[in-house]
Amino acid sequence: MHQKTPVNVRGVALVAGAHVVDDFYQGVIPALLPFLVSQRHYSYAAISGITLAATVLSSVAQPAFGVLADRGSRRWMVPAGMLLAGVGASLAGLMPSYILTWLVVALSGLGIAAFHPEAARGARQAAGNSNTAMSVFALGGNAGYALGTLVATPVLLWLGVHGTGLLVLPAIVMALILSRTLGRTLDQREEHRSKSRLPSGDDDWRAFSTLTAIVIVRSIFFFGVTSFVSLYFINQLGTSKATGNAALTVFLVTGALGTLVGGWLGDRFSPIVSIRSGFALAIPALSGALLAPSTPMAMVCVAVTGIATYLPFSVFVLLGQNYLPNRIGTASGVTVGLAVSIGGLANPLVGWLADATSLRMALTVLLVLPAIALGVSMFLRMPEPGR
């Protein structure tokens, strides 16, 4: 086991706050899409292209930024990446053509990609070996994504697509704060031992590959549930659109609780316990939602599914860093970025299955995924002492 190190609370809070602002811009883009359809008359294919620019390019680029971060600490990537994310998203509503809109959204995605590997390194330095502290960093991203949609929608309703220009303000403010305080906050009173707060030892690529496979399976499950749970309530259970959207909100809100509980379980027992518990719980939880005889009972099961899906989330990054102690940036880029994007790319297959059969059948097939992830997790082992 790792030797316990005290948590740098201020450092965790600062990097988690930066994570909120950075992922705020991931939430802005989905909120912008309906306005681009209604005000600029973009086709659904064009909207899909913008989604591709915002998500897949960002996720695929993250391992490359991770490799760059592994060649030496590059903390400037944290404020610079976040600022680029904010500038790109804020320009999206101001561009006069589709191609320019696509390009600035892609720039925003690249900024998000640049932010995450080095931010995850900083979070690890501040958190030491605390899964709970790392779960706070992970929760910051979840909260930022939700806030992006929550804040952008009324701004866009008020000002139209040109309102995106106002949304750059959080990035400017946080970038100024980070440029003045990030290094001092992470390193203060720790100059003589800051490196010891990071993992050490030999890289275990086999274990890391196993973990990456699990992250991919979890991501496919996550995208499948978030994409179709609202439609399931509306079309299969006969609820209103508001109730259907409420089911998705419940899933995401209880997921925030699951993120924190997963970190606590990781500290109390081990990260592998968090991973296995989440997937084991997801199977009966989603089954209950599909078999529930009433909407309230289905909603309760969706809440449990949210907790279960997020239980492994916060421990993925820390465990991946422990498996690749000499390539922390690469480990962070893969677990946060590449593996997640692959899950998103698989989502159209779930939609195709729903079109060919039914939403109930598609969601039922998703139950295979946590079972697979649980089985693969049996091959996970904790890193050797000193890693």
The answer to whether 138 and 317 have CB atoms below 8 angstroms apart is: yes
Instruction: Give every CB contact of residue 69 below 8 A, 6+ residues apart in sequence.
Output: 77, 117, 118, 121, 328, 329, 332, 333
pLDDT for residue 189: 53
Question: Sorting pLDDT into bands at 50, 70 and 90, what band is 3?
Answer: low
- Dist. CA 8–CA 185, nearest whole Å: 8
Nearest to 314 by CA among 142, 182, 199, 195: 142
Give 244-299 pLDDT, tens digit per residue: 888 888 898 899 899 999 999 999 999 999 999 999 999 999 999 999 999 999 99
Give 216-251 pLDDT, tens digit per residue: 999 999 988 988 888 899 889 999 888 888 888 889
Is the C-alpha dihedral spanning 92, 46, 53, 134 positive or negative? positive
Burial of 57-68, coded b for 16+ CB within 10 Å and e otherwise, reads: bbbbbbbbbbeb
Instruction: Give every CB contact of residue 134 below 8 A, 6+ residues apart in sequence.
Output: 123, 124, 127, 263, 314, 315, 317, 318
Q: Mark residue 53 as left, alpha or beta (left: phi above 0; alpha: psi -120 to 50; beta: remaining).
A: alpha
Domains of the chain (ranges; CATH) run 9-187 (1.20.1250.20), 205-377 (1.20.1250.20)
The answer to whether 281 and 218 have CB atoms below 8 angstroms apart is: no
Lowest mean pLDDT among 15-19, 111-115, 129-133, 348-352: 348-352
Give 31-77 pLDDT, tens digit per residue: 888 888 889 988 877 887 888 888 777 878 888 888 887 877 688 99
